[in-house]
């Protein structure tokens, strides 16, 4: 390991080749060009400059450089449509159905091109991001479908120096890493990623870096699932569209008991909302202390008491060997028939077969799930046939603000790698 800057560790070989004689001036030119194009685009769109305040400027805290400016994703267009960009003719890269774009750059002649792949880009966000502050010309491969085969991934990513993993959508283990000789930087959204073999990456000389994030979207989705089940929103929406009026009677939250399995950052925020509704809030986790529970104004109870007592059980634990299948047949059997189970953490916390049985036999009233043992969830999965579930496709973190943070730090992290100053390093 060598040192750079203010003690920041830099891995030998984990930096880009020479950037040319004056990379600072070139970067300034690129930023000016991008801003001019963006301003012109604003004046040509409905609302003109009134939309200026819809753009969020994300600055690198270290040097104040503007990384990119993001409008709401629904209103953005691909930077590859900038007239100065050179777009690929559509020819697949290694047979990939993802989009391959060569992004415009005013860097010195001969600056080597940086091939970046973004995995599981379901919403097509990567093409709307401004990558031009990266001090090398970028060729972007945005893969919008999920690829579960290591063999196929190895082919598609063979020429990529940088791979961006979107949360834990795709496992990246030692076997796959060994088949990617060009890979030098593995970026993940979030500060850690249980689906990446970080130790194997380090052994192979691959730098692993993360991003910041926000927990608010997961808290919000937790309550969306609770509301949908308590007030039968899916049933009533479907009935209304079929011409039927008022089919169900909702369950109250005020006066009910909210049971939190896990009282970390997300659990505490969920608890605060529950208290605002007038709920009794109880909690349990393997390492929860009375002091931490009291600080969150939550009542610490035993594991069995929580499942027996709660009207709403919500899971907020990290998945590990000790928490895998923590909610099994015994816990589900202990729950009230009128109770609901919410899981926005990880699918592996629950014995999925036991949950399906409990839902089929009305052992519990319903389940709101955002996470599953297998993702993406197959269309013919038994959960999709149950009417007492509300299912979402792992949307806990998929919001405008969270994606802005992710891509701000992805671009910043790749720029840091190119300058020999990796940022937000993840170590084994």
Residue 71 structure tokens: 């409008």
Whole-angstrom CA distances from 416 to 98, 264, 412 are 26, 31, 6
Report the DSSP beta bridge partners of residue 6.
none
Q: Given the residues 220, 375, 400, 421, select the one marked as catalytic.
A: 375
Peptide bond connecting 343 to the previous residue in cis, omega within 30 degrees of 0: no
Question: Using alpha carbons only, what angle is made at residue 267 by residues 265 and 268, rounded to the nearest 5 degrees?
Answer: 70
Report the DSSP beta bridge partners of residue 100.
141
CA–CA distance, 173 with 204 (Å, rounded to integer) = 12
Q: Are 311 and 251 in contact (CB under 8 A)?
A: yes
Half-sphere exposure of 27 (CA within 13 A, CB side): 19
CA–CA distance, 139 with 145 (Å, rounded to integer) = 19
Active site residue 394: yes
> What distance separates the 2 farthest-apart alpha carbons in the chain?
72
Active site residue 346: yes
Strands across the sheet with 162-165, in order?
A: 86-87, 99-102, 138-142, 114-118, 162-165, 185-188, 207-209
**Which letter does DSSP use for residue 113 in this model?**
P
Whole-angstrom CA distances from 172 to 194, 206, 234, 329, 426 are 9, 12, 36, 31, 14
Q: Are 37 and 82 in contact (CB under 8 A)?
A: yes
CA–CA distance, 357 with 359 (Å, rounded to integer) = 5
Active site residue 244: no
CB-based contacts of 124: which residues, under 8 Å, 6+ apart?
142, 144
Q: Given the residues 346, 365, 408, 423, select the one marked as catalytic.
A: 346
Closest by alpha carbon to 30, among 101, 82, 70? 82
Strands across the sheet with 280-284, in order?
A: 299-300, 280-284, 257-261, 312-315, 340-343, 366-369, 389-391
**Which letter does DSSP use for residue 316 in this model?**
-
Q: Given the residues 115, 136, 394, 423, select the one marked as catalytic.
A: 394
CA–CA distance, 115 with 410 (Å, rounded to integer) = 14
Half-sphere exposure of 276 (CA within 13 A, CB side): 7
Query: Which residue numbers are catalytic?
Result: 346, 375, 394
């Amino acid at each position: 390991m060598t040192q750079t800057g203010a003690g920041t560790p830099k891995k030998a070989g984990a930096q880009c080749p020479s950037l040319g004689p004056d990379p600072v001036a070139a970067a300034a030119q690129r930023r000016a060009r991008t801003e001019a194009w963006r301003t012109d685009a604003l004046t040509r769109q409905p609302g003109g400059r009134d939309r200026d305040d819809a753009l969020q400027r994300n600055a690198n805290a270290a040097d104040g450089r503007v990384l990119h400016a993001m409008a709401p994703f629904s209103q953005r267009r691909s930077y590859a449509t900038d007239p100065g960009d050179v777009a690929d003719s559509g020819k697949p890269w290694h047979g990939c159905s993802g989009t391959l774009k060569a992004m415009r750059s005013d860097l010195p002649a001969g600056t080597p091109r940086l091939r970046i792949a973004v995995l599981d880009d379901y919403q097509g966000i990567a093409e709307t991001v401004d990558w031009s502050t990266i001090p090398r010309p970028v060729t972007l491969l945005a893969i919008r479908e999920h690829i579960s085969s290591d063999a196929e991934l190895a082919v598609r990513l063979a020429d990529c120096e940088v791979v961006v993993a979107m949360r834990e959508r795709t496992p990246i283990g030692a076997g796959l890493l060994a088949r990617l000789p060009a890979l030098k930087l593995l970026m993940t959204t979030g500060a850690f990623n249980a689906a990446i073999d970080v130790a194997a990456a380090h052994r192979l000389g691959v730098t692993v870096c993360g991003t910041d994030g926000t927990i608010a979207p997961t808290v919000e989705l937790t309550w969306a699932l609770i509301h949908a089940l308590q007030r039968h929103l899916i049933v009533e929406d479907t009935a209304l569209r079929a011409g039927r009026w008022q089919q169900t009677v909702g369950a109250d939250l005020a006066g009910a008991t909210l049971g939190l399995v896990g009282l970390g950052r997300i659990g505490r925020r969920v608890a605060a909302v529950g208290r605002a509704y007038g709920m009794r809030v109880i909690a349990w986790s393997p390492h929860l202390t009375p002091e931490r529970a009291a600080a969150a104004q939550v009542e610490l109870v035993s594991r069995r008491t929580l499942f027996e007592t709660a009207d709403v059980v919500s899971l907020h634990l990290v998945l590990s060997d000790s928490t895998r299948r923590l909610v099994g047949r015994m816990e589900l059997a202990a729950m009230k028939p009128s109770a609901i189970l919410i899981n926005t953490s990880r699918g592996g916390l629950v014995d999925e077969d036991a949950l399906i049985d409990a839902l089929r036999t009305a052992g519990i009233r319903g389940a709101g799930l955002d996470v599953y043992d297998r993702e993406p969830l197959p269309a013919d999965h038994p959960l999709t046939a149950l009417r007492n579930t509300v299912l979402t496709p792992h949307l806990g973190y998929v919001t405008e603000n969270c994606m802005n943070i992710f891509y701000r730090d992805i671009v910043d992290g790749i720029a840091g790698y190119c300058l020999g100053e990796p940022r937000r390093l993840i170590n084994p």
